[in-house]
Every structure is written in structure tokens, then in C-alpha cells.
Amino acid sequence: MTQALEYNGVKYPHNPSFRAFYYDDTTGLYDNYEQYYFDLSLADDDHTPEWILEYDFKTGYDADNILPESVDKVFEKMKTDDDLFDEFMKRNFVSLQPELQPECDCYCKWRNWCAVKYVDIDENKECYNSNTDSCPSSGASVISWSATLPLLFAYFIIGKMMYG
């Protein structure tokens, strides 16, 4: 389950969510996941949480499965497809109301892309520093690294399971 009201360094709340992972029972490999969330804006004293399907990875990202090769293809596409990146950010904030989501400038996009693409901290830093010339000279990104941790964690675990 992701953090519900955890403020990730810049005071942006997340709706509570969880992911259900599916695997191929003949190979034991992960195949897909679904992300469900509870919309906090619907909460009141008498409301029982209604978990809403936000997306499933294969359909939401037009991927074959959630193995590292497929996830890597999604990340590469996200690098140049602004609509796909925007959808990723919406899902990263777990369908938080649009007016509460932060703007994501060039630095933000690049930093988040590097964070999901490179789990190794040295590769991540090298990636982030390699693109500073292509962004206009403005302030740094407004989104915390912790915004990408759930996806990074899943990517890391699946990679470890696949490749040791």
C-alpha cells in the first residue's frame, strides 16, 4: 500500500492505494499488476472505502507484461511521449485531483525519468546530470524522489527475481 497522506518533501498528498500483482503460474514470472486507490475527496465519516481500479500496467502502458524488458520499453517511450509521461505522473500521485498535482517542468520530467530508468544511484545521478543542458535555466524540480519509489521498488524486485 502506498502512503495515503505522506507528504513527500513538498507537501503533495497521495490517495491511498495498493497493487495486485499477477503471475504466470506455469513460469512463476510476473505478468501484470492492477493499481487500486481510494479517492480521499470522497471520504466522510460514514463512507466505507470504495477501492477503484486506477489502471493495470499492461493496458495502461500498452506493454506485453511487467518483466524488465517490457518495463524498459515503456520508460524509453515515456522519455519522448509527453502524454504518456503525464499519465505516469497522474498515476504516480494516485489520481490525486488535478488542481492538487504539482506542475512538472523539464527538470522534473528528466529527474523522474532517470529515477524510474536507473535504480543504481550512481547511474541515476549520471543520467540526471547528463540532461541539464537541454532544460532551460530555471529552478530545480518540484517533485521529490519519493514520488517514484513504489514503481522503482516493483521494478527492482522483478529485476532481482529475473536476473538474480
Tell me the per-residue pLDDT of 26-35, one tens digit each, with 9 for 90 and over: 999 999 999 9
Grid cell at residue 77: 517511450
Backbone φ and ψ for 162, nearest 5 degrees, come out as: -75, -40
Residues in the chain, total: 164
Grouping H, G, I as helix, E, B as strand and the rest as coil, residue 36 is strand
pLDDT per position as a tens digit, 82-138: 899 888 888 887 777 777 777 788 888 888 888 888 888 899 888 888 875 666 554
What H or E segment, with its residue span, contains residue 23?
Answer: strand 17-23
Q: What is the mean pLDDT of residues 36-60?
A: 83
Q: Which residues pair with 52 in a beta bridge?
A: 37
Q: pTM of the prediction?
A: 0.68
pLDDT classification of 67: cutoffs 50, 70, 90? very high
Grid cell at residue 114: 532517470
pLDDT classification of 142: cutoffs 50, 70, 90? very low
pLDDT classification of 44: cutoffs 50, 70, 90? low
pLDDT classification of 143: cutoffs 50, 70, 90? very low
Percent of the chain topping pLDDT 90: 24
Flag whether pLDDT at 152 surpasses 50.
Answer: no
Question: Residue 84: exposed, middle, or buried by beta-carbon count in 10 A (0-12, 13-18, 19+)?
Answer: middle
Place of cell 521529490: 144
- Amino acid making up residue 162: M
Q: What is the DSSP letter of 61?
A: T
Helices (H), 17-142: 57-60, 68-80, 82-92, 106-117, 121-130
The pLDDT value recorded for residue 4 is 44
Domain coordinates in residue numbering, the chain: 17-163
| pLDDT mean across residues, the chain | 75
